[in-house]
Amino acid sequence: MDFRRQIRYYFLRLMRLKGEPHELSLGIAIGIFVGMMPIMPFQIALAVTLALFFKGSKITAVLGTWISNPLNWYFLYYFSFKIGAFILGLSEKNRIFLSLMESINYNEEILVILGKFAHAGGAIIFAFLIGGVLMGLVVAIPSYFFFIRLFRFIRNWREKRKKRRH
């Protein structure tokens, strides 16, 4: 499948999503929020749980977690630690952090990375989480407003198109 065809396919899938713009936008914002947190194997489960709790779209919540992907894991983890370490007053030259980032940079298996993360210690893990939550809020809040406008536009476009057909 060529790239343009793939883009068109996913665009059409987005256009056909069912639901109210608020529900769809809230779901994607929740997914983006969770996707910014360094909890790799648990992102989808947490996003769906939060979407259920806040009455957002579960499908768009899962889609939103895709903001975190192998192309940007290094940067997300790096900045989430840097922000969290700054807030908690931790050293940015922590050897455990450097070892973790090296594992991510060299695309080591997820179990190796998770093992290092689990053995990092409470302060390091907390720094990652604090930084991830703050980055998530900074990105998720504006994304809600962007996507609500997008989903309203799509809904109006669909309604106009439907009227023209009849």
3-class state of residue 28 by DSSP: helix
* Residues with Cβ within 8 Å of residue 47, at least 6 apart in sequence: 30, 31, 34, 35, 61, 62, 64, 65
14-23 burial, b if ≥16 CB within 10 A, otherwise e? eeebebebbb
Say what the pLDDT of residue 48 is.
95
| Amino acid symbol at 117 | F
Helix residue ranges per DSSP H, 89-121:
95-105, 110-118
What are the boundaries of each domain within the chain?
3-156
What's the confidence (pLDDT) of residue 92?
A: 65
pLDDT at 122: 75
Q: What is the pTM of this model?
A: 0.81
Cα 72 from Cα 137, distance rounded (Å): 18
pLDDT at 109: 74
Helices (H) and strands (E) in the chain, counts: 8, 0
Cβ neighbors of 57 (< 8 A, separation 6 or more) are 17, 19, 23, 24, 26, 27, 28, 51
pLDDT means per 10 residues, the chain with 166 residues, are 77 78 94 90 92 93 87 82 86 71 74 72 83 94 95 88 81
CA distances to 15, 17, 156 from 21, in Å: 12, 10, 11
